[in-house]
Structure 1
Amino acid sequence: MNKRRDIPPQIERAVLNDGDMRVSLLSYGATTQGWWYKGMPMILGYENPRDYATDNNYLGAIVGRVANRIGAARFDMENVRYELDANEGRNSLHGGRAGLSHQNWALEQMTANEAVLRLTSPEGASGYPGTVRFEVRVRLDYPRLVYSISAQPDRPTPVSIAQHNYYSLGCVTGISEHCLRLTSNRYLEVDNQGIPSGKIVDARDSGMDFSAPKAISAVLTDLDNYFVFNSAREKGLPVADLTTPTGLKLSVWSDQAGVQIYSGAHLTEPFYKSAGVCIEPSGYPNAPNIPEFPSIICAPEAPYEQTLILQISEGVT
């Protein structure tokens, strides 16, 4: 568990509005503090911005430099071994204790419905090579919320970012009966520490198939798995949908290789188990240690880019 972190002297806040939607952004962790549709909260969040500095759930944060887990908190690149901050047992999770989610970003509101967050991560931060300039542009374009994420390194280094909202879609009783659909029928095999082995498993053989909508409660285990998007997915269609029993629907578009689905089994007070679900498109976890996985190494001539689009609609049956 993370130790208590210093609270930044000033956490800045920006509020975006468009149509029937409102979004609150914080400089700390480039965090989405709240997202409301017709007054209903779509995600979990703290009312007090300072609570995020002691949060261990990564609520609404931008996580990295490398999202998810890196086994043994180390990797080799160009014949050099890099030792990372081990903040989950012997492994590194979401960039370590001083990852992007634990930094105070520069926040600038551009218009009534758009803001930009910027952060320069120095050479050696959490053990990673290279200085990297990160930018997260957030635009509320009713009924869509769009995240445009980029990173410019000064030398080759791994980068894989995830946006870590916990989606509740206005339900106060949790997300167990929400139906999830993914453009995927495969997921990564992991060990008992959540570290991928390199093997890709057919979800249809394990009861983990969400290629057709299925209630999250229908899976007999707590979800904390990376699903590989189908390579032949149809252009322009969402890669994931989350639908409530009342018909409110979140659709997700992403240009990433896959998505981590986490059903909130370890949420802590003031929240409760499965109060929200994370849908985190990103690169493959532990990719620097598994040559068969798609590379997440970025370079000055090949900077990092990601676009995440979220859309709310009603009346889905």
Structure 2
Amino acid sequence: MRTSFGKTSEGAEVEMVFLEKGDLSCGILTYGGVLQNLYVPDSSGFDVDVVLGYENVIDYETRSGRMGAIIGRFANRIAEGRFELDGKTYELSRNRGPDHIHGGNKGFDKRIWNIEGSSESSVTLSLQSADGEEGYPGNMDVRVKYTLGDSGLTMDYLAHSDRDTVCNLTNHSYFNLNGHGNGTVEDHHVMINSDRHTVFGGRSLPTGEIASVEGTPLDLREPRAIGTRMRRYGGFDNNYLLDDIMAAKVKGPKTGIEMDVVTDCPAIQFYTANGLKEMEGKDGARYGKWSGLCLETQYCPDSPNHPEFPSAVLRKGDEYRHRTSYIFNLE
């Protein structure tokens, strides 16, 4: 089902597409491809909205967090807003100090996506990104398909370019499995199925070193309540390298809802909303620091400047294709 979600500050119409399958339902916006809500039954059979979001388009335009949005062309940071490809240097927009983050000043999270097709349980959104947009080379065609299954939500990412370029797409949903607006995620139990992380230096940029998580606060190979580590170290904002499609597992103890993250991406960024500002979200909920957690499946931050990382280069005529699923169950 399609319905109006209002208009942007420039008067562009935004639609919401409602998806339903079994006990699950969600709403997808054409603005930013945002996952605006996702209802999952808890251990008592009560439907719980497990993603943070806003009530109207203007809030998505003006407030922080890029909540629920599709991120591109390149998720995460690129140092100094610059990378070299085949001997040519490309200068990108710099929207986080001297660096480029999440696609620039008007990334995919701030664009109106087209509805290519929809059914009761799926919707395909498309976007054309012009050569030179935010400094990136190549005309790029992008499609993202949201499919709601009996047990979870799958996102299929597809992109082509008419020039060699870089591409790194993800979704920036903030999850709270106790229900959005129901406190912080400090009591959540998290498992990240990875024994390696990219070491960060200044401005949260990777140094290029890939290190073991063994003996560090980043070791989440066994499920752990994350609150103590968050309070001690200021929260998580870390990139892990993946060797298996089972990337992560999260549990909200108040609802009993568990979520598995399954992906064919080479890395995952675990972020606990350390910088989220105090604000009002949808349904009158209050959000702020640590109100949700993001599990952004992607390539590594600044990978165009680090040949030691998995390559995010998309060659002309090749296909960028990735799949991530969020699978829900009860303990």
TM-score when normalising by structure 2: 0.89
> Secondary structure at 2:204's aligned position in 1?
coil
> Secondary structure at 2:106's aligned position in 1?
coil
Match of 1:148 among 156, 173, 179: 156
Q: Give distance in 1, aligned partners of 2:57 and 2:189.
A: 31
Query: 2:250 corresponds to which residue?
Result: 242
Query: 2:4 corresponds to which residue?
Result: none
Query: 2:264 corresponds to which residue?
Result: 255
Query: 1:163 corresponds to which residue?
Result: 171
1:108-123 to structure 2, matched below 5 A, reads: 108-123=116-131
- CA shift for structure 1 position 205: 2.6
> Secondary structure at 1:218's aligned position in 2?
helix
Query: 1:286 corresponds to which residue?
Result: 302
Q: Which amino acid aligns with 1:36?
A: Y
Q: Give distance in 2, aligned partners of 1:248 and 1:14.
A: 24
Q: Give distance in 2, aligned partners of 1:108 and 1:285.
A: 30
Match of 2:99 among 91, 95, 100: 91
Structure 1 residue 46 and structure 2 residue 54: aligned? Answer: yes
> For 1:124-177, what per-residue CA distance to the aligned partner results, in whole angstroms no more than 9, with x for missing partners?
010000000000011111211010011011111000111111000134022111
Match of 1:181 among 176, 182, 191: 191
Relative to 1, partners in 2 of residues 1:204 and 1:8: Cα closer, same or farther, differing over 3 Å? farther
Query: 1:13 corresponds to which residue?
Result: 16
Query: 1:72 corresponds to which residue?
Result: 80
Is the 1:259–1:279 contact (alpha carbons within 8 Å) kept by the matching residues of 2?
yes
Match of 1:26 among 23, 26, 29: 29
> Secondary structure at 2:197's aligned position in 1?
strand
Query: 2:133 corresponds to which residue?
Result: 125
Deviation above 4 Å: which 4+ runs of structure 1?
5-8
Percent identity over paired residues: 29
Q: Give distance in 1, aligned partners of 2:316 and 2:99.
A: 28
Q: Give distance in 2, aligned partners of 1:265 and 1:258.
A: 20
Aligned pair count?
306
Q: Give distance in 1, aligned partners of 2:125 and 2:251.
A: 30
Is the 1:242–1:251 contact (alpha carbons within 8 Å) kept by the matching residues of 2?
yes
Is the 1:26–1:49 contact (alpha carbons within 8 Å) kept by the matching residues of 2?
no
- CA shift for structure 1 position 192: 2.5
- CA shift for structure 1 position 266: 1.1
Q: Give distance in 2, aligned partners of 1:292 and 1:8.
A: 45
The alignment yields a C-alpha RMSD, in angstroms, of 1.4
Q: Which amino acid aligns with 1:245?
A: P
Query: 1:36 corresponds to which residue?
Result: 39
Query: 2:284 corresponds to which residue?
Result: none
Gaps of 5+ in 2: 1-7, 42-46, 281-286
TM-score when normalising by structure 1: 0.93
1:186-265 to structure 2, matched below 5 A, reads: 186-219=196-229, 220-221=232-233, 222-229=235-242, 231=243, 233=244, 238-246=246-254, 247-265=256-274
Q: Give distance in 1, aligned partners of 2:14 and 2:190.
A: 34
Match of 1:59 among 67, 74, 96: 67
Match of 2:317 among 301, 306, 309: 301
Q: Give distance in 1, aligned partners of 2:216 and 2:152.
A: 34
Q: Give distance in 2, aligned partners of 1:239 and 1:16.
A: 25
Q: Give distance in 1, aligned partners of 2:108 and 2:183.
A: 31
